[in-house]
Amino acid sequence: MIRYSCKKFDDLSLIELYEIMKLRQEVFVVEQNCPYLDADDKDLYGYHVMGKDKKNAVVCCTRLLPEGVSYEGFISIGRVANGSTVRGTGEGKKLMDYSIETIKQLYPASSIKIGAQTYLKRFYENLGFKDLNQPYLEDGIPHIIMVYEVT
C-alpha cells in the first residue's frame, strides 16, 4: 500500500528530497534518455507530493507549483514520476487524484495546467483534463498542453 503526503520544499527532509530527485532522474533522464537539468529552481516554490511504500521509500511523486511559476494564471502539476515498482498498478491515477485534491485545498477555485506527454492524453482526459490543442516538443518528446477546470 502506498501512502501519500504533500510537503512544501522547505519542509522536505534531506532523505525525501534525495529520493524525489533520484526517482525523477531515473524516470526522466535515464529511462526516457533526456539529459536535462531537472533541478530548475522551480522546486523551491512548490509543494511536493510523495507516494511512499511500506519501506518508506518514495516510489512516485509530483510537483505542484503556484500560479505564475510555470504558467501565468494557472497552478501546475509537473514532474509526474512513477517508479518501475508501481507502474501498471493504478498508482498513477491515485497519485494524480491526490495531487488534484491537494491543489483544490491549497489553491481553491484555481485551474490546473499541465504539459503532458502526448501518449498520456487519454490518461489525463480520464482525470478531467482537456487538450488545448497546443502540441510542442520537449527534449524530443511530443507533448500537449492540458487544463483542468476546478469548480
Give the pLDDT score at 47. 98
How confident is residue 109, by pLDDT bands cut at 50, 70 and 90? confident
From the list 142, 29, 147, the residue with the least C-alpha distance to 81 is 29
Q: Where are the domains of the chain?
A: 3-148
Architecture of domain 3-148: 3-Layer(aba) Sandwich (3.40)
The pTM is what?
Answer: 0.95
Which residue is associated with the grid cell 499541465? 114
Report the candidate in 120, 140, 137, 138 with the shortest Cα–Cα distance to residue 129: 120
Q: Give the single-character DSSP code of 87.
A: T
| Lookup result for grid cell 478531467 | 128
Kindly report the backbone phi and psi dihedral angles of residue 5, in degrees, each rounded to the nearest multiple of 5, phi listed first: -150, 165
Task: Indicate the average pLDDT of the chain.
Answer: 95
CB 18 within 8 A of CB 58: no
Q: How confident is the model at residue 116 (pLDDT cuts 50, 70, 90)?
A: very high
